[in-house]
Structure 1
Amino acid sequence: MPRPTAVTALPLAALLALTACSPAPAVPDPAQVSAAGPWDETAARAAVTALPASFGLRAGFEDCDALLTYYQANALELVTPYGLGGGMGYAADDTMGGVEDAAAAAGDDAGSAGAPEHSSTNVQEEGVDEADMVKTDGRVIVSVLNNRVRVVDVASRKVVSEVRMPGRRDQVSPSELLLHGDTLVVLGQEWSYAQPVDGRFLPFGSSRTHVVTVDLSDPAAPRTVGSVRVEGSYRSARMVGGTVRMVMVTEPPGVEQTQPRKNTMAAEAEAEETNRALVRATSIDDWVPHVQVLDADGTVASTERLLDCGEISRPRDPAGLSTLSVLTFDLTSGSPGPTSGAGLVASGDTVYASTDRVVVATSPWDLWRWAGPLDAAIWPGGEPVNRTDLHAFDISDPATTRYAASGSVEGRLLSQWAVDEEGGVVRVATTTDPPGVSEPSQSALVVLREEGERLVETGRVDGMGLTEHVRAVRFLRPDLAAVVTFRQTDPLYLVDTSDPTAPRVAGELKVPGYSAYLHPVAEGWLLGIGQDADERTGQTRGLQASLFDIRDLSAPKQTEVLTWKDGSSPVEWDHRAFTLWPTTGQAFVPLMSWSEQADSTRGEPESFGGLVALDVGADRLAEVARVATGPGSREWGEAPLRTIVVGQELWILDQQGLARFDLHSMEGGWAVDLP
């Protein structure tokens, strides 16, 4: 994507006046700051507030001058003597499927004709693949483990190759993978550490996201097609067909700030004015992300802005200084770089995607840190920010990504599972924690609809789980959602959303413990994986699997319960650790348990790390096997990370490698070391 290197004249009279007040982007001398003329911040804020009307229905920016003005005006409201954000550098945080998903996805991999039937990543939405630490096409298993990307041949059970990350040695870490036919995409992070110079510092954390495209047509000799290096932190990625959408957040990469040199009020005043001058002296390249395209050898081929200024929009309410980007990669184009993208002046940490929309949610914490010292809603000193912003991007066209709409809901989200979208209607489950101790927390399901560039609330149901918090959500179909809240018992709420203007609780069931993950296993039947708990105290007692009959929405029932004392599973916090294989009716749940009860032979606490195989379906739930999965030399219990079905074999990814078991007899053991 070509990027402009020059800016054009402002079309708005108000912004022309602002530009005239701004100095050239030369770094000012702190000693001469007091002589600098004042910047008309009142006019700047008024111009920024007027942007929606000035730009009509489009929330994008006309040119780079308008975008720079927006960044600067918002930054000047946050400046303190200790820099933006009170002098704290914020490194960005680095932080789905129906019954037939696994079998259906098995046939989605282009180029895998003739490969054994195999499972895929357990995803939230059918047809929308999610980046994960392991992928398979039935012939090879590719994993990211211990900071290395290895390719294992299924037939020989051997590592046949390793994919090398480009860039600076020991600073680039692969994190997740996507696989489409013979094309492997490796997503990684790189951290850099800029040091203060002449008393100035960079107030925001610095990171780079790597996207490496690899040709795996010969698994024993993978060929790097090319890669890109982007300023910012990776959040998540989705793939629909051969199109990848990657979400990332970039803190201002080039803004400098300073701090008082003495503990005097005069030094504070001088430092604050210097910081204001430093903000006014910034150029657009100090705020927006950039991208480097690397060739197959890792040599930089080009460096340019990631997005045109006109591709970056701003939400109706200012939401910080970060740039949220949703990038499109066409895996069939032969180019490693993004083919299109859309940006928003906001942050985000929770990513949901359907086949038509990517929705990115901004956490209350992220909103709070951008609220600024003069905002009455910050905490402490006022009420905490108790809302979540939602930003929707249109991905219905495989060739483009377009900012669609933004909105807000009261409360906070559990995870990506709290969001759902279909046909421009967004459903969100939230938990609200009131600031006053006399008011209980409660949960709600809110329905919003796109109206222009706004997500407008059309209906809601409140009052679920008073004093409790949402622990699991599953949007089962456009007219039905399941919500679990918990404090001492587990109310399972079935919410009828057939009327988006009046969602209602159709049925409720209270049982001990709670479900942290919900998965449909047959029409009208729901499997829950979570924790057993004492009904009086709410204290958890171990892993629990529950089967719910929800055929009658007004009277849901728990028909079967299995428990594993002192146990837990990564499925409780990462849905990708769960596998349902409809061909055999088996569900695979990683299990880790630890007990105070001493082992009779060694006098040590008992521990177990392995896998539980369940037989699950309509009106049936039973444990059929339990196997330890780690290498024989390991003496501690640790749950495996992922499970993969390939043909008649079950492969299990562990912290140290892969184990292999017969799918039916569950006989097998350790197979491949991945140190």
Structure 2
Amino acid sequence: MKNDFDFIKEKFESSGVKAPDSLDKDAVLAMLEDKQPAPIPLRPKRRWPAVVAVAASLVIVASLGIVLGSRFIGNKPQTAPPTTVIADIKSLQTFDSYNDVEDAVGSIRKLNQKKDSRMFEAINSDMAADGYSEVGNSASAESGNASSSSHSETYKQVEGVDEADIIKTDGRYIYCVENRYNAALIKIFSADGDSSRLITTLDASKQSSSTADEAALSDSDAYYYDYRFTISDMYLRDHTLVLLCMDHRDAEETVTEAQVYDVSDINSIRFLGDHSQSGYLASSRMIGDTLYTVSSYYPYEDRVIPYCNEKEIPCNCIYSLPNPNTESFLVVSSFNTRDFSAQSESKALLGAVSDIYCNENNLYIYASHYDVDDDGWFNFFSSKVTTRIVKVNLDDGLEFTAFGEVKGYVKDQYALDEYSGNLRVATTCERNGKDVNNLYVLDENLSVIGSVNGFAKNESIKAVRYLGDTAYVITYEQTDPLFVIDLSDPAAPAILGEAKISGFSTMLIPIGDDLVLGLGYHTENEDYTDLEVQEGFKLALFDVSDKANPKVLDSKSYVEYSSEVQYNPKALVYNPDRDDYIIPLNYAHYGWRDYIDAEDTESADGASEDKDVIYGGMLNFTVRDGKIKVIEQYRCDRTNEIERCIYVGDTVYMTHRGENYDGDLTIETKKYQ
């Protein structure tokens, strides 16, 4: 019987591909004895090889690397030696010509089409076995007031790195995004307290650089044109307004566009210029006057090469991740919003993008990489799901400097953090049908140098926050454990302690060195079952002064309430002058009366008045003396929900959306208590 090493060797020889040195029998045995091979450096300017053969070899390499990197003992979390991703998976590849780029995309596309074909064959086979017929069920394969010195700012993950949002203020005016039928609007209100009013409306679609010809659009494209141009979010810096827009030019092509306006004279807003790049907007950051945008571009038949400002990105600025299983590109650009004479820069990478983490020196682009089985299915729950991370240095333009990969998927940008040159990443993955969680420490080359693996079995990460050399991680299944993880030794991170509370937090806010505030969900057991369901909003205050013994100091639950802050950190407003917080807090009780017959107006228990009740509002609170102190819970007169809150001076401004997509956006004001 052949051993595993001989089997793998035969697979490489039969495919005509030389096995990497790191798969030598002695090298693998050395790694099993925790002897780390030297990492493979990033190698630019490498010509794209034969895609199909290399892809087959890298699948085996990556799979073996994941298996060898797993270090679990029972259910006890282990501080494991660094896991190593083997051989060429550390290399980014470049192209010598556009033909090479198109050939690479074509090879991936053909490979995926074969897998798609096998997948649909399997589906049809299963349907036939279940008594379904293909007849009739076939689908086509085509597819003037004074500025206030005190006003709110967008909540940011990293100080000095601004993040875009749908509402901004400069203390004089309030800028709000409103996308409507065939219009992408910025509504600008005066910040005059109770006298606040709509000053002007800016339609960004009027300045679009789109080349779409409205008259030439087919009926099938009409919907895309009507809603084709939308504003995602915006930046406001001094007197410069930057709008991040998406131009859905037709059913295939989408362009990310940044429009820049001078708003120093609100009665005479001037359009300064724009910057465009191919693909859907994934995320952005702004450092000083420089805007960084990352988009996801899926090439179509007539246009494979990604482009910037309607010009194809040079082929020597296009890279590929090893073994990509998607034909999409991520496109990253830098653009000076004040100096239009400065040269913008764009680069592209063949591979997916989920989101980004960014500080003043480095931009990290990450995406989940799913295992694809022989039938073409993406195995989203496989233990082989990994997060791929690309590091882009921002010190001198855009420079891809490292690529790494860790096991599991990342919840959001707050799961990543750079500290003392190391990147910390918290992930959730599956093992033996159960969720487990990991925290990795990666060096400047994105090689894993330390990790904590397999903690909180059968739970998934809901929130992460880093404070210096400490990580705070919330996981959840039936209770809300807060884990305190010591990262002072990057090579040997360790769980120091944990505290449990019902419900779970989705956002963590460090308050000084000793307190952590959690915002998230109140949960309750469903009647007569063990099923726990989300039933409202919850605040939880943790004492972490003794990291080995964290405690719950206080909590407040709001049953049948919800807030955008539960899933969007930008909905949190912090006022440093008052040291308090403001969030939208909306109430919704859904009765059953609307669902019974009109004549059946009374039940046996007299609950005939159980109607739907919905209204918007906001919560203003602070943390004092180890307690969560509610300053005011305000209920609005309107029945539609409050989306965002901001403050200017001593007034809180709350935005309402209309009851349908084309409803007006309006503002309600409330004096601070």
Q: TM-score range by the shorter chain?
A: 0.7 to 0.9
Question: How far is 1:218 from its partner?
Answer: 0.9
- The separation in 2 between residues aligned to 1:81 and 1:506, in whole angstroms, is 46
User: Which residue, 309, 322, 333 being the options, matches 1:327?
Assistant: 333
Task: Please give the per-residue CA displacement for 1:522-546, whole angstroms capped at 9, x wherever unaligned.
Answer: 3311111112234865333321111
Q: Does 1:343 align with 2:348?
A: yes
Q: Does 1:123 align with 2:156?
A: yes
User: Which residue, 161, 166, 174 being the options, matches 2:231?
Assistant: 174
Q: In 2 relative to 1, CA 141–43 (structure 1 residues): closer, same or farther, beyond 3 Å?
A: closer
- The separation in 1 between residues aligned to 2:418 and 2:236, in whole angstroms, is 25
Of the structure 1 ranges 180-189 and 311-320, higher mean CA displacement relative to structure 2 is found in: 311-320
Question: How far is 1:318 from its partner?
Answer: 2.5
Question: How far is 1:47 from its partner?
Answer: 7.5
Q: Any stretches of 5+ residues in structure 2 without a counterpart?
A: 1-47, 59-85, 121-138, 213-224, 594-606, 658-664
Question: How far is 1:347 from its partner?
Answer: 1.0
Task: Please give the per-residue CA displacement for 1:158-214, whole angstroms capped at 9, x wherever unaligned.
Answer: 2222222224663211120011111111111122335xxxxxxxxxx4322221111
Q: In 2 relative to 1, CA 650–81 (structure 1 residues): closer, same or farther, beyond 3 Å?
A: closer
Question: 3-state SS of the aligned residue for 1:79?
Answer: helix
Q: In 2 relative to 1, CA 574–233 (structure 1 residues): closer, same or farther, beyond 3 Å?
A: same
User: Which residue, 308, 322, 326 being the options, matches 1:291?
Assistant: 308
Superposition TM-score, scaled by structure 2 size: 0.72
Q: Does 1:512 align with 2:512?
A: no
- The separation in 1 between residues aligned to 2:242 and 2:668, in whole angstroms, is 24
- 1:250–1:288 contact (8 Å) kept in structure 2: no
1:211-222 to structure 2, matched below 5 A, reads 211-222=258-269
What letter is aligned with 2:644?
A: R
Which residue pairs with 1:144 in the alignment? Answer: 177
Which residue pairs with 1:466 in the alignment? Answer: 457
Question: 3-state SS of the aligned residue for 1:77?
Answer: helix
Question: How far is 1:79 from its partner?
Answer: 3.2
Question: How far is 1:617 from its partner?
Answer: 4.2
Q: Does 1:619 align with 2:626?
A: yes
Q: In 2 relative to 1, CA 56–646 (structure 1 residues): closer, same or farther, beyond 3 Å?
A: closer
Q: In 2 relative to 1, CA 220–66 (structure 1 residues): closer, same or farther, beyond 3 Å?
A: same
- 1:78–1:85 contact (8 Å) kept in structure 2: no
Question: How far is 1:483 from its partner?
Answer: 0.4
Task: Please give the per-residue CA displacement for 1:495-544, whole angstroms capped at 9, x wherever unaligned.
Answer: 11111111111110011111111112333111111122348653333211
- The separation in 1 between residues aligned to 2:231 and 2:272, in whole angstroms, is 17
Q: Does 1:226 align with 2:273?
A: yes
- The separation in 2 between residues aligned to 1:626 and 1:488, in whole angstroms, is 28
Q: Does 1:163 align with 2:180?
A: no
The share of aligned pairs that are identical, in percent, is 26
Task: Please give the per-residue CA displacement for 1:315-345, whole angstroms capped at 9, x wherever unaligned.
Answer: 233342111111101112135x971122211
- The separation in 2 between residues aligned to 1:89 and 1:588, in whole angstroms, is 49
What letter is aligned with 1:660?
A: T
- The separation in 1 between residues aligned to 2:534 and 2:508, in whole angstroms, is 18
Of the structure 1 ranges 321-330 and 646-655, higher mean CA displacement relative to structure 2 is found in: 646-655
Q: Does 1:562 align with 2:546?
A: no
- 1:488–1:539 contact (8 Å) kept in structure 2: no
Which residue pairs with 1:70 in the alignment? Answer: 104
- The separation in 1 between residues aligned to 2:456 and 2:367, in whole angstroms, is 23
Q: In 2 relative to 1, CA 383–117 (structure 1 residues): closer, same or farther, beyond 3 Å?
A: closer
What letter is aligned with 1:611?
A: M
Question: How far is 1:603 from its partner?
Answer: 5.1
- 1:79–1:85 contact (8 Å) kept in structure 2: no
Q: In 2 relative to 1, CA 83–150 (structure 1 residues): closer, same or farther, beyond 3 Å?
A: farther
What letter is aligned with 1:391?
A: V
Which residue pairs with 2:167 in the alignment? Answer: 134
- The separation in 1 between residues aligned to 2:546 and 2:484, in whole angstroms, is 10
What letter is aligned with 1:447?
A: V
Question: 3-state SS of the aligned residue for 2:94?
Answer: coil
Q: In 2 relative to 1, CA 615–89 (structure 1 residues): closer, same or farther, beyond 3 Å?
A: farther
Of the structure 1 ranges 598-607 and 128-137, higher mean CA displacement relative to structure 2 is found in: 598-607
User: Which residue, 362, 366, 372 being the options, matches 2:367?
Assistant: 362
Aligned residues: 533
Question: How far is 1:362 from its partner?
Answer: 1.2
Question: 3-state SS of the aligned residue for 2:618?
Answer: strand
- The separation in 1 between residues aligned to 2:229 and 2:363, in whole angstroms, is 27
Q: Does 1:475 align with 2:462?
A: no
Task: Please give the per-residue CA displacement for 1:436-484, whole angstroms capped at 9, x wherever unaligned.
Answer: 44xx211111111232xxx21111112322111111111122x111100
- 1:525–1:618 contact (8 Å) kept in structure 2: no
What is the RMSD computed on CA atoms of the aligned residues? 3.5
Q: In 2 relative to 1, CA 90–342 (structure 1 residues): closer, same or farther, beyond 3 Å?
A: farther
- 1:327–1:338 contact (8 Å) kept in structure 2: no
Question: How far is 1:44 from its partner?
Answer: 5.3
- 1:78–1:372 contact (8 Å) kept in structure 2: no
Question: 3-state SS of the aligned residue for 2:570?
Answer: helix
Question: How far is 1:65 from its partner?
Answer: 4.0
Which residue pairs with 2:390 in the alignment? Answer: 391
Q: In 2 relative to 1, CA 652–396 (structure 1 residues): closer, same or farther, beyond 3 Å?
A: farther
- The separation in 2 between residues aligned to 1:209 and 1:473, in whole angstroms, is 30
- The separation in 1 between residues aligned to 2:461 and 2:254, in whole angstroms, is 32
Task: Please give the per-residue CA displacement for 1:385-431, whole angstroms capped at 9, x wherever unaligned.
Answer: 5222122211233xx11212222221111111111123441111111
Superposition TM-score, scaled by structure 1 size: 0.72
Which residue pairs with 2:538 in the alignment? Answer: 544
